[in-house]
Amino acid sequence: MVKMIVGIDGMMCNMCEAHVNDAIRNKFKVKKVTASHTAKNAEIIAEEPLDEAALKAVIDETGYTMTSFACEPYEKKGFSLFGKK
């Protein structure tokens, strides 16, 4: 799994965040997406990295601007029945 942090300019409120979240969920197979207008980014968890150009196009369609893209390995936090994961 990977975590992508995408810089997004133009979000002003919670409805903007919801708009971005929905657009990404509708176009890509993701485990989780959380946009933040205060942090000016979205964190996306997925099995594989998303295509950066396709992601930019989806965000541009919403009226916001993708300003950056970073991808790093992601390990789910938490505990299993057999101890720490």
pLDDT tens digit sequence for 43-80? 999 999 999 999 999 999 999 999 999 999 998 776 55
| φ and ψ at residue 20, rounded to 5 degrees | -65, -45
List strand residue ranges (DSSP E) for 1-85, in order: 2-9, 32-36, 41-46, 65-73, 79-80, 83-84
Buried-exposed string 63-72: b where 16+ CB fall within 10 A, e elsewhere: ebebeebebe
Structure pTM?
0.87
Over residues 34-47, the mean pLDDT reads: 98
For residues 30 and 4, is the Cβ–Cβ distance under 8 A?
no
CATH number for region 2-76: 3.30.70.100
Residue reference for tokens 């176009």: 27
pLDDT, residue 82, reads 59
Over residues 27-53, the mean pLDDT reads: 97
